[in-house]
Chains A and B, each alone.
Chain A
Amino acid sequence: MSEAHEGVHRHPAPTGFIRKYIFSLDHKVIGIQYIMLALAAVVVGMLMSLLMRLKLSWPDHHWAILEFLFPTGAPGGVMGPEFYLSLVTMHGTIMVFFVLTTAPQGGFGNYFLPIQIGAEDMAFPVLNMMSFWVTFVGFIVILLAIFVEGNHALGEWFGVHLGNSFAGGSGTVGPIGGWTGYAPLSALGKIAGPGQGGGMNLWVISIAIFCVGSLLGALNFITTLLNMRTKGMSLMRMPLTCWAWFTTAVLALLSFPVLLGGGILLLLDRVAGTSFFIPGGLYVSGVLSGSNPNFPLHTGGSPILWQHLFWFFGHPEVYIAILPGMGATSHILATFARKPVFGYRAMVFAIFAIGLLGFFVWGHHMFISGMSPYSAIAFSVLTLSIGVPSAVKTFNWIGTLWGGRIRFTTAMLFAIGFVSLFVAGGITGLILGQSSLDLPMHDTYIVPAHFHLVMGVASIFGMFAATYFWFPKMFGRFMNESIGRIHFWLTFIGVYAIFVPMHVMGLQGMPRRYSQFTEYEFLATLHPLVIFVSVAAIITITVQILFYFNVFWSMFKGKKAGENPWEATTLEWNTTSPPPHDNFAGVLPTVYHGPYEFAVPGAPRDFVMQTDVDVEVPSGNGHNGHKH
Chain B
Amino acid sequence: MGRALAVIIWILTLLSVLLFLSGKWWLPPAISNHAPALDRQFMITIIVVGISFTAAQVGLGWMVWKYRDTGKAGDRAIYSHGSNRLEVVWTVITAFVFIALGVMGQSVWASLRLNDAPPGSYSIEVVAQQFQWNFHYPGKDGKFGRTDPSLIDDGALNFIGLDSTDPNAADDSTSAMLAIPVNRPVELRLRSKDVIHNFWVPQLRFKQDLVPGMEIKVHFTANKVGKYELACAELCGQLHFKMKSYMLVLPEDELNSLLALPQEQFTTRIGELRDKYQLPKYQ
Interface: B82 (CB within 8 A): yes
Which residue of B has the minimal Cβ distance to A399? B82
Q: List 7 A-B contacts (CB under 8 A).
A: A178-B235, A346-B91, A373-B113, A408-B5, A413-B1, A430-B98, A500-B15
Check if B109 sits within 8 Å of A377, measured CB to CB: yes
Which residue of B has the minimal Cβ distance to A511? B233
Task: Output the residue of B107, B114, B233, B279 with the most chain A CB within 10 A.
Answer: B233
Pick the residue among A193, A341, A346, A370 that contacts B237 (CB under 8 A). A193
Interface: B156 (CB within 8 A): no
Check if A385 sits within 8 Å of B102, measured CB to CB: yes
Check if A599 sits within 8 Å of B77, measured CB to CB: yes
Q: Which A residues touch B102, using CB under 8 A?
A: 380-381, 383-385, 433-434
Check if A620 sits within 8 Å of B79, measured CB to CB: yes
Q: Given A283-B129, A436-B109, A493-B12, does the pair A599, B154 have CB atoms closer than 8 Å?
A: no
Check if A392 sits within 8 Å of B87, measured CB to CB: yes
Interface: B52 (CB within 8 A): yes
B184 to chain A: closest CB distance in Å? 21
Within 8 A of B (CB), among A500-532: 500-501, 503-505, 507-509, 511-517, 519-522, 524-526, 529
Interface range for A: 35 or more
Given pairs A403-B80, A405-B69, 7 additional interface contacts (CB within 8 A): A81-B240, A188-B195, A370-B209, A443-B200, A509-B28, A511-B200, A511-B232
Q: Which B residues touch A406, using CB under 8 A?
A: 2, 63-64, 67-69
Name the segment of A129-137, A160-168, A420-428, A469-477 touching the other chain.
Answer: A420-428
Q: Which A residues touch B162, using CB under 8 A?
A: none
A3 to chain B: closest CB distance in Å? 27
Check if A401 sits within 8 Å of B42, measured CB to CB: no
Interface: A435 (CB within 8 A): yes
Determine the distance from Cα of A486 to Cα of B257 in the docked complex, in whole angstroms. 68
* Interface 0/1 of A434-449, CB less than 8 Å to B: 1111011011100000
Determine the distance from Cα of A522 to Cα of B119 in the docked complex, in whole angstroms. 33
Q: Which B residues touch A288, using CB under 8 A?
A: 149-150, 152
Determine the distance from Cα of A185 to Cα of B198 in the docked complex, in whole angstroms. 13
Task: Output the residue of B12, B75, B98, B216 with the most chain A CB within 10 A.
Answer: B98
Determine the distance from Cα of A413 to Cα of B283 in the docked complex, in whole angstroms. 39
Check if B5 sits within 8 Å of A338, measured CB to CB: no
A623 to chain B: closest CB distance in Å? 5
Determine the distance from Cα of A492 to Cα of B209 in the docked complex, in whole angstroms. 36
Q: Which B residues touch A507, using CB under 8 A?
A: 25-27
A482 to chain B: closest CB distance in Å? 12
Check if B20 sits within 8 Å of A405, measured CB to CB: no
Determine the distance from Cα of A406 to Cα of B77 in the docked complex, in whole angstroms. 9
* Interface 0/1 of B96-124, CB less than 8 Å to A: 00110111011111101110000000000
Check if A194 sits within 8 Å of B238, measured CB to CB: yes
Name the segment of B54-62, B137-145, B173-181, B258-266 touching the other chain.
Answer: B54-62
Determine the distance from Cα of A485 to Cα of B2 in the docked complex, in whole angstroms. 12
Determine the distance from Cα of A376 to Cα of B106 in the docked complex, in whole angstroms. 9
Determine the distance from Cα of A343 to Cα of B86 in the docked complex, in whole angstroms. 9
Check if A185 sits within 8 Å of B236, measured CB to CB: yes
Determine the distance from Cα of A395 to Cα of B113 in the docked complex, in whole angstroms. 37
Check if B101 sits within 8 Å of A621, measured CB to CB: no
Determine the distance from Cα of A358 to Cα of B97 in the docked complex, in whole angstroms. 20
Determine the distance from Cα of A437 to Cα of B206 in the docked complex, in whole angstroms. 9
B1 to chain A: closest CB distance in Å? 4
Determine the distance from Cα of A419 to Cα of B64 in the docked complex, in whole angstroms. 12
Check if B229 sits within 8 Å of A520, measured CB to CB: yes
B28 to chain A: closest CB distance in Å? 6
* Interface 0/1 of A265-291, CB less than 8 Å to B: 000000000000001111111101101
Interface: A588 (CB within 8 A): no
Check if B211 sits within 8 Å of A304, measured CB to CB: yes
Q: Given A401-B64, A489-B8, does the pair A443, B233 have CB atoms closer than 8 Å?
A: yes
Within 8 A of A (CB), among B32-50: 38, 41-42, 45-46, 48-49
Interface: B202 (CB within 8 A): yes
Interface size on B, residues (CB 8 A): 105
Determine the distance from Cα of A485 to Cα of B4 in the docked complex, in whole angstroms. 12
Check if B45 sits within 8 Å of A407, measured CB to CB: no
Interface: B213 (CB within 8 A): yes
Measured CB to CB, the residues of A under 8 A from B are 81-82, 85, 88, 176-178, 182, 184-185, 188, 192-196, 279-286, 288-289, 291, 301-304, 337-344, 346, 368-370, 373-374, 376-377, 380-381, 383-385, 387-388, 391-392, 394-399, 401-408, 413, 416, 419-420, 423-424, 427-428, 430-431, 433-437, 439-440, 442-444, 485, 489, 492-493, 496, 500-501, 503-505, 507-509, 511-517, 519-522, 524-526, 529, 598-601, 606, 620-624
Determine the distance from Cα of A373 to Cα of B9 in the docked complex, in whole angstroms. 40
Determine the distance from Cα of A39 to Cα of B98 in the docked complex, in whole angstroms. 37
CB-based closest 6 A-B pairs: A279-B213, A403-B78, A384-B102, A434-B105, A509-B202, A343-B82
Q: Which B residues touch A381, using CB under 8 A?
A: 99, 102-103, 106
Determine the distance from Cα of A281 to Cα of B75 in the docked complex, in whole angstroms. 76
Determine the distance from Cα of A385 to Cα of B102 in the docked complex, in whole angstroms. 8
Check if A622 sits within 8 Å of B83, measured CB to CB: yes
A254 to chain B: closest CB distance in Å? 25
Check if A344 sits within 8 Å of B207, measured CB to CB: no
Check if A182 sits within 8 Å of B106, measured CB to CB: no
A428 to chain B: closest CB distance in Å? 6
A55 to chain B: closest CB distance in Å? 11
Check if B205 sits within 8 Å of A182, measured CB to CB: no
B177 to chain A: closest CB distance in Å? 15
Q: Which A residues touch B202, using CB under 8 A?
A: 440, 508-509, 522
Check if A598 sits within 8 Å of B77, measured CB to CB: yes
Pick the residue among A176, A280, A384, A504 that contacts B19 (CB under 8 A). A504
Determine the distance from Cα of A458 to Cα of B239 in the docked complex, in whole angstroms. 33
Q: Given A281-B213, A434-B102, does the pair A505, B109 have CB atoms closer than 8 Å?
A: no
Check if B99 sits within 8 Å of A385, measured CB to CB: yes
A371 to chain B: closest CB distance in Å? 9
Which residue of B has the minimal Cβ distance to A432? B45
Check if B8 sits within 8 Å of A493, measured CB to CB: yes
Q: Which B residues touch A408, using CB under 8 A?
A: 1-2, 5, 68
Pick the residue among A302, A392, A503 that contacts B90 (CB under 8 A). A392
Check if B101 sits within 8 Å of A384, measured CB to CB: yes
* Interface 0/1 of B144-178, CB less than 8 Å to A: 00000110101000000100000000000000000
Determine the distance from Cα of A102 to Cα of B114 in the docked complex, in whole angstroms. 42
Which residue of A has the minimal Cβ distance to B51? A427
Interface: B276 (CB within 8 A): no
Q: Which B residues touch A529, using CB under 8 A?
A: 25
Q: Which A residues touch B213, using CB under 8 A?
A: 279-282, 301-303
Determine the distance from Cα of A488 to Cα of B113 in the docked complex, in whole angstroms. 46
Which residue of A has the minimal Cβ distance to B213? A279
Interface: B241 (CB within 8 A): yes
A503 to chain B: closest CB distance in Å? 7
Interface: B252 (CB within 8 A): no
Check if B229 sits within 8 Å of A398, measured CB to CB: no
Determine the distance from Cα of A526 to Cα of B283 in the docked complex, in whole angstroms. 10
Check if A434 sits within 8 Å of B237, measured CB to CB: no
Determine the distance from Cα of A433 to Cα of B242 in the docked complex, in whole angstroms. 28
Check if A440 sits within 8 Å of B206, measured CB to CB: yes
Check if A504 sits within 8 Å of B25, measured CB to CB: yes
Q: Which B residues touch A376, using CB under 8 A?
A: 109, 113
Determine the distance from Cα of A501 to Cα of B232 in the docked complex, in whole angstroms. 22
Q: Which A residues touch B20, using CB under 8 A?
A: 503-504
Determine the distance from Cα of A167 to Cα of B261 in the docked complex, in whole angstroms. 49
Q: Given A176-B237, A283-B194, A380-B106, does the pair A521, B150 have CB atoms closer than 8 Å?
A: no
Determine the distance from Cα of A406 to Cα of B38 in the docked complex, in whole angstroms. 44
